[in-house]
Amino acid sequence: MAPHDEKPTTEVHDRPVDIPSEWNLQRVLPNTEKPWYKQRHLLLLNLGMVIPYLSSTTNGYDGSMLNGLQSMSQWQTSFGNPTGTRLGSLSNGVIFGQILAFPIAPWLCDHTGRRFPIFIGSALLVIGAILQCAAQNYAMFLVSRMVIGFGGLIAVEASPMLVSELAYPTHRPVLVGYYNNLWYLGSLLAAWITYGTYFMGPNISWAWRIPSLLQGFFPLLQVLFVYLLPESPRYLVQKDRYDEARKVLTKYHAGGDENSPLVDFEMQQIILTIQASKETKSGYRKFLSTRGNLHRLLIIITVPCMMQLSGNGLIAYYLHLILNSIGFTSDPQQLRINGGLAVFNFGVSIILSSFMEAAGRRRLFLISTIGMLACYVIWTILSAINQQRGFHDTGLGTGVIVMIFMYQLFYNAGLNGPPWVYITEVLPTHLRAKGTNIMQIASTCVILFNGYANPIAMDAISWKYYIVYCCVIAAEFALVYFCFPETKGYSLEEVALIFDGEKAFGEVSEKSSGEKQNLGEV
């Protein structure tokens, strides 16, 4: 992630796009031979990103924990062996809480900054984890998950925004890409914690209460440490707090150099784009006002649907049903597979995200959808043959598990790290909170479908349900190919050129004539 001096090149569907020279980030990057980890200001900034990353870790913990609990006889006994819609309601309890938070989260991000929503959301997550641990019946467990969903959405909306808006320009793609990878850290921990507590005994309720309580550990760390991070300079400029924004950029991007050309450049870009946006209303209707914004709207709805509707929902929340369908019914066996999958996902997602800037977003989306489709087709065929043979051929069941791991490899390549990078890049500052909220709403609608349709369909038609996802993934490939432009090589402000053309810079220049040369002094 060391700064470099090469001029960025980027393409939109293989068509080069020129960036005006005055908007070229590469010309103002400091010339230094030191890697970022030997520069104190960048080291502190990048390590601080762990705090917002923990929102993703908590989210991943939840999905894997519920998978583990469903494979535990202690939890099944405590809540009456829920199936069908009762099981779906527990999975969707988090979603019910998120729905209640939808109108609140973007307002908090726009009016209180990025840190406070992380703080208050994490505090609610701690409360929800305590209630979940203390649950005495089905209703109390469901309510606790609603509290977790409410707080979780507020923290999750603000966290990647803070990472994206605070990161050093050339580090941003990788840092934002790592955000969603930390989902797997939570998943890994929950998988092996539930595996360990399972052996506490068949009648010990603490076997599921301990994993439930530990869901509040990472949010507690965020409550304690989130204010060690500075506020987003883009939010500060949006609130006309120019001096504070410049101090943040000077300290964390320039190492205290008050005459840094990079800081002047960043302040100029941020101020010009936000000043232009303030002259028009930035409500949700803004997404319908121009062709570029309609294109953005299509992307921010499509990407979360791809993240949740590519068949991964079956693995994330109903792995035990998949394993039951291929003859792997032992509780310890299922817990070990769940834990192994978590370790695999965490490792490959970290490795793949390191190559995100070299490969580009669009190419990774295409590779991901093609690979997932191939894996799902083979997975479906093996499951069908396995059922026809009465689950007596263990090799077929093992083949399905191999395909699940291969599927996760391709899923991680394009639908784990790249989505948050892509979404924060295509959305301008004044629409980022609302656009992120639209993304979460679209994601929630799909998760609701997954929560109710997946367990019912798996019980009813077993492997035949996989055919639906084969068709969905094929449609996703077509959408990416025709509708997703490449954003590699642009700063957050420069991405507007892809969607709005030369007008993105022309309007700003016209509206700010006479002011541009003085912006570096703000």
* CB burial readout 178-210, b (16+ within 10 A) else e: bbbbbbbbbbbbbbbbbbebbeeeeeebebbbb
Q: How far apart are CA 437 and CA 157, in angstroms?
A: 7
Residue 11 parent element (H or E): strand 11-12
What's the CA dihedral at 61, 93, 110, 50 to 10 degrees?
0
Whether residue 169 contacts residue 183, with contact meaning beta carbons closer than 8 Å, is answered with: no
pLDDT of residue 521: 46
Structure tokens at 40: 């104190």
What pLDDT, on a 0 to 100 scale, did the predictor assign at position 77?
87
Question: In a 10 Å sphere around its CB, with 0-12 CB exposed, 13-18 middle and 19+ buried, how is residue 60 labelled?
Answer: buried
CATH for 36-233+264-515 (1.10.3720.10, 2.40.30.10, 1.20.1250.20, 1.10.443.10): 1.20.1250.20
Q: In whole angstroms, what separates CA 511 from the centre of its chain?
A: 35
pTM of the full structure: 0.76
Q: Strand, helix or coil at 12? A: strand
Q: Could you tell me which residues come within 8 angstroms of residue 276 by beta carbon, excluding any fewer than 6 positions away?
A: 507, 508, 511, 512
Length of the chain: 522
Show the low-confidence residues of the chain (pLDDT under 70).
1-24, 276-282, 316-318, 391-393, 502-522
Return the domain boundaries, the chain: 36-233+264-515
**How far apart are the C-alpha atoms of 328 and 320, rounded to whole Å?**
9
Helix axes 138-166, 105-112, angle to 10 degrees: 40
